[in-house]
Amino acid sequence: MSYSIKQVYQRLHKHHGAQDWWPGDTPFEIMVGAILTQNTAWSNVEKAITNLKASDCLDAAAIVALQHDELAQMLRPSGYFNIKSKRLQAFCEWLLAQGGEQSVAEYETEAMRQALLQVYGVGPETADDIVLYAFHRPVFVIDAYTRRIFSRLGIISGDESYEALRGLFEATLKGKAALYNEYHALIVIHGKEVCRVKPQCHVCALKDKCSYISKP
DNA sequence: ACCCAGGGTCATA
DNA sequence: TATGACCATGGG
């Protein structure tokens, strides 16, 4: 007998505590982080954001004004720096064209997602990171950890579409933004601290023996 | 020395 | 629509 989606949340929260995500002081920093962390360890993203801050460039207008190569060098530690330089500038161009964060905040949630998905370099997960963590809207973010954990728990097959999984989690939890915020954060923290660092973690592999999830 | 990270785009069939 | 190549640094 495996745990339900709700029960997994209870256990993650009990063992890891409140995460109070996303790391970042401002909505804009959160959005930048969402793009830079694509398929990249967060520790590397922090170095790139530090570079941007040091050059006083953590600002849409400043980023757009930079030369591509100049920005790429600041993003270097976060990997894929040429592509991310292009993506980050495309995103900042879009943000400025929208009229800034305040204007984006006027979108209804689904319209906001769709608008973000049109931006070069912004896919479903990045869009939902922004919608949830920068704008506090109730969308459940699906990432590789989510697929890994819940497929190993036997709750999903793992090859469902992004939208199918988002629909499943949102329909099951019927939660508010604060719950989705916390749950996704817990999944990532658990994935980082347990699933990868401790390969013997049994949330994923041996369910009933995981010291973080399965023991009461 | 190898593996893979809090993905997304693009070309090809 | 469904795969595969590609992007690239840094920590384990």
Q: Cα–Cα distance between A128 and A201 in angstroms, integer?
A: 28
For A147, the 3-state DSSP assignment is helix
* A122 nearest nucleotide via C1' and CA: B8
Is there a contact between A157 and A151 (Cβ–Cβ < 8 Å)?
yes
Q: Give, rounded to a whole angstrom, the gap between the first and last alpha carbons of chain A.
A: 14
C1’ C6 / CA A213, Å: 37
Residues 6+ positions from A203 with CB-CB distance below 8 Å: A8, A149, A152, A153, A190, A194, A195, A210, A212, A213, A214
- Give pLDDT tens digits along chain A (216 positions): 678 899 889 888 888 889 999 999 999 999 999 999 999 999 999 999 999 999 999 999 999 999 999 999 999 999 999 999 999 999 999 999 999 999 999 999 999 999 999 999 999 999 999 999 999 999 999 999 899 888 878 889 989 999 999 999 999 999 999 999 999 999 998 878 765 544 445 444 434 435 455 544
C1’ C11 / CA A59, Å: 29
User: What is the maximum span of chain A, computed from C-alpha positions, in angstroms?
Assistant: 56
Cβ of A141 less than 7 A from strand B? no
